[in-house]
Structure 1
Amino acid sequence: MEGRARGSLPFVGMMMVVLAQAGNMVVMKMAMSDGINKYTMVFYSNALSSLVLLPCPFIFSRRSGSCPPLTSSVLGKIFLLALVGFAAQMSGYVGIDYSSPVLGTAMMNLIPAFTFILAIISRMEKVNWKSSSSQAKLVGTIASILGAFVVTLYKGPPILPSPSPPSVQPRHLLFLLSRQSNWILGGFLLMAEAFFISLLYIGQAFILKDYPVVLNIMFYYMFFSTILSLLLSVITVREPESWILNVDVGLIAILYSALVAGVFRITMCTWCLKRAGPVYVSMFKPLGIVFAVGLGFIFLGEMLHLGSLIGALVIVMGFYVVVWGKSKQEEKTIEGSGVGECLASSSHKIPLLQSNA
C-alpha cells in the first residue's frame, strides 16, 4: 500500500505542474486584460523569484565541499542562457496578450519537436534514418509544426457559439481583421517561445557538464533575467503609474508567476523527472490544453474554436509520435549497452520534454 502511494506521487506532482502552467497563462491574460503592464509584471516576477532563490548559492557553497568553482566562463554561459530564457519569457507574455491561453498551451507541445531538431544540429542526438524510432521522431516533428501552423493561421468558428453572436457589419470589419491579425501574431510569438525554450534546454545540457549545481544555476539565471527585464522595462515603460503595485489581479499574477509557476513548478517538475524519467513527464504535456480550456472558459469567458481544436489534436498526435520514437530509442540503448551503463549516461541526456524553465 505504501509503495503504491509512493508510485502515485509523480502522477499527482505532474498534474500539479501542468495545472500550474495553464493557470499561469490564464492569470497573466487576466492581468494584462485588466491593464497591467506586461513588462513591469515580468520584472517584478523575476525579481521575486531571484529573492526566493537567493539563499541557494550560500547554502550549497557551505554544505557541499565538492561544489565546483563558479568561474567567469560559467557565469558568461549562464548569462547567455538567461538571455535566451528572457526572449522566451517575453515572447510568451506578448503572445498570450495577443491570443489566448489555449493557443499558448498548444504551442508548448512544439518543444519536443524543436528540441529534436536543435539536438541534431548540435550533434547531441544521433539519428539513424533507417530505424523506426528516428523515422517516428521525424514524422512527429513535422506533424507538430504543421499543427502549429493550423492552430495559428486558422481560427475557425467557435465550437460553442454564444447565444447572440455579433453580426458582421462594415464598421466591425476593421476590428475583426485586427483581432485576426493579433491572433496570428500571437501564434507566431508563442511558436518563438517554444523554440527559445528548446534552445534553452540545449544550453542547459552544455552548462550542466561544467557546473552541475542546478539551484545555483537557477538563481544566477533568474538574477540575470531580472536585470534584463529591468532594462527593458525602463526603456519601454514611460508611465510612472505602471510601476505602482496595487492589491489587485496584477499583484496576484506576479505572486503566482514567481512562486507557483516559477519556483514551485520548476522544482516539482525536476523532482518528477528524477523519480519517473522524462518520457513519463512528457505524457502530461497535452493535459495543459484541457486545463487551459476549462480555466479560460471559467475566468476569461473564452470559447474553444474549431481551428484550435484541429491544430491542437495534430500537435498532440505529433507529440506522442516523438515520445514513442524517443522511448523506442531508449529501449534499444538499454538492450545494446546494458541497464547499468544506460543509467550512468541518462543524467547527461537532454531533458527533452521538460516543462517551461
Structure 2
Amino acid sequence: MEGRARGSLPFVGMIMVVLAQASYMVVVKMAMSDGINKFIMVFYSNALSSLVLLPCPLIISRRSGSCPPLTFAVLGKIFLLALFGLASQMSGYVGIDYSSPVLGTAMMNLIPAFTFILAIISRMEKVNWKSSSSQAKLVGTIASILGAFIVTLYKGPPILLSSSPPSSIQPRHLLFLLSRRSNWILGGFLLAAEAFLISLWYIGQAFILRDYPVVLNLMFYLMFFLTILSGLLSLVTVREPQSWILKVDVGLIAILYSALVAGVFRVTLCTWCLKKTGPVYVSMFKPLGIVFAVGLGFIFLGEMLHLGSLIGVIVIVMGFYVVMWGKSKEEEKTIEGSGVGGSLASSSHKIPLLQSEASSV
C-alpha cells in the first residue's frame, strides 16, 4: 500500500501543477480586467519571488562546500537569460489580456515543438531522419505549429455559451467586433512568442547549468535580475504614481498568486515530480491545462468556447503526443543501448529537451 501511495504522489502533484498554471492565467486575466497595470504586476510578482528565494544562496553555500564559484561570465549569462524571461513574461501577460486563458494554455503546448527545433539548431538534439522516432517528432512539431495557427486565425462560432457573459464580449457595432477580432489574433501571436521565448529560456538554462549547476541559486539571481529589469521597464512605461499603490483587491491577489502559487510552489512541485518520474511523464500532463482553463474561464470570466479554439487545441494536443511518443521511443533506445535500466528520470540529465516548467527552478 505504501508503494502505491508513493507512486500516486507524482500523479497528484502534476494535477496540482497544471491546475496552478491554468488558474494563474485566469487570476491574471481577472486582475487586468479589473484595471491593474500589467507592468506593475510583473514587477511586484518578480520582487516577491526574489524575496522568497533569498535564503537559498545563503543556505546552500553553508551546507555545500562544493558549490562552484559564481563568476562574472556566469552572471552575464544569467542576466541575458533574464532578458528573455522578461520578454516572455510581458508577451504572456499582454497576450492573455488581448485573448483568453484558454488560448494561453493551448499555446503552452507549442513549447515542446519549439524546444525540439531549438535543440536541433543548438546541437543538443541529434536527429536521424530515417528513424520513426525522429519522423514522429518532426510531424508532431509541424502539427503543433499548424494547430496554433488554427486557434489564432480561425475563431469560428461559439459552441459553449456562458449564462452571464461579460458585456465586453457583446459587441454593439462592426468596428468593435473587428477590434476584438484583431486583438484575439494579436494575443495569439504574442502567446506563441511567449512559448518560443520559454523554449529559448530552457535552452539557455541548459547551457548555464553546465557551468553553474546550482539550480536554486540560479533561480534567485535570475529572479533578482528580472526584478531589476521589470522595475526599470515599469518606471519608463508607467507614468501615474497611483498605479504603484497596491489595494486589497483582485490585483493584489493576482500578484500574490503569481509569485507564490504559480511561481515558487508550482515550479518546485514540478521539479520534484520530474526527479521522480522524468521529463516525459511531466510533459504528458500539459494538455490537461486546456480542460482546466476552459472550465475556470467559463465559470469565473464568462468566456465562450469557439469552434476554432476546439479544433486548434485538438490538433496541438495530437501533435504534442506524437512528439512525446517519438521522444519516449528515442529514450527507450538510449536506455537499451546503454544497458542500464530504470526510469526516464535517470536519463533526463543527458537530454534536457522538454523539461517543462521544472527547468526554470
Shared fold per TM-score greater than 0.5: yes
Q: Which amino acid aligns with 1:16?
A: M
Structure 2: distance between partners of 1:5 and 1:317: 31
Contact 1:81–1:200 (CA<8 Å) still a contact in 2? yes
Q: Residues 283 and 340 from structure 1, CA distance in 2 versus in 1: closer, same or farther, beyond 3 angstroms?
A: closer
Contact 1:113–1:140 (CA<8 Å) still a contact in 2? yes
Counterpart in 2 of 1:300?
Answer: 301
Matches within 5 A, 1:1-357: 1-161=1-161, 172-339=173-340, 346-355=348-357, 357=360
| Structure 1, 342-351 or 212-221: larger mean CA deviation | 342-351
What TM-score do the two structures reach when normalised by structure 1?
Answer: 0.96
Cα deviation digits, residues 25-60 of structure 1 (max 9, x gap): 000000000000000000000000000000111111
Gaps of 5+ in 2: none
Q: Which amino acid aligns with 1:202?
A: I
Structure 1: distance between partners of 2:161 and 2:24: 26
CA shift, 1:164, in A, is: 10
Contact 2:277–2:345 (CA<8 Å) still a contact in 1? no
CA shift, 1:155, in A, is: 0.8
Q: Which amino acid aligns with 2:202?
A: Y
Root-mean-square deviation (Å)? 2.0
Secondary structure in 1 aligned to 2:67? coil
CA shift, 1:345, in A, is: 5.2
Structure 2: distance between partners of 1:85 and 1:123: 22
CA shift, 1:303, in A, is: 1.2
Q: Size of the alignment, in residue pairs?
A: 356
Q: Residues 201 and 315 from structure 1, CA distance in 2 versus in 1: closer, same or farther, beyond 3 angstroms?
A: same
Q: Which amino acid aligns with 1:279?
A: V
Cα deviation digits, residues 122-171 of structure 1 (max 9, x gap): 000000000000000000000000000000001111102467999xx996
Q: Which amino acid aligns with 2:222?
A: Y
CA shift, 1:335, in A, is: 1.6
Structure 2: distance between partners of 1:42 and 1:191: 19
Q: Which amino acid aligns with 1:225?
A: L
Give runs of ≥4 in structure 1 deviating > 2 Å.
Answer: 160-166, 340-346
Q: Residues 89 and 138 from structure 1, CA distance in 2 versus in 1: closer, same or farther, beyond 3 angstroms?
A: same
What TM-score do the two structures reach when normalised by structure 2?
Answer: 0.95
Structure 2: distance between partners of 1:164 and 1:32: 19
Structure 2: distance between partners of 1:145 and 1:163: 33
Contact 2:163–2:302 (CA<8 Å) still a contact in 1? no
| Structure 1, 54-63 or 139-148: larger mean CA deviation | 54-63
Gaps of 5+ in 1: none
Secondary structure in 1 aligned to 2:239? coil
CA shift, 1:339, in A, is: 1.3
Structure 2: distance between partners of 1:324 and 1:236: 45
Contact 1:116–1:125 (CA<8 Å) still a contact in 2? yes
CA shift, 1:349, in A, is: 2.1
Secondary structure in 1 aligned to 2:246? coil
Q: Residues 131 and 170 from structure 1, CA distance in 2 versus in 1: closer, same or farther, beyond 3 angstroms?
A: closer
CA shift, 1:310, in A, is: 0.3
Structure 1: distance between partners of 2:135 and 2:353: 20
Contact 2:109–2:286 (CA<8 Å) still a contact in 1? yes
Secondary structure in 2 aligned to 1:212? coil
Structure 2: distance between partners of 1:170 and 1:132: 49
Contact 1:26–1:101 (CA<8 Å) still a contact in 2? yes
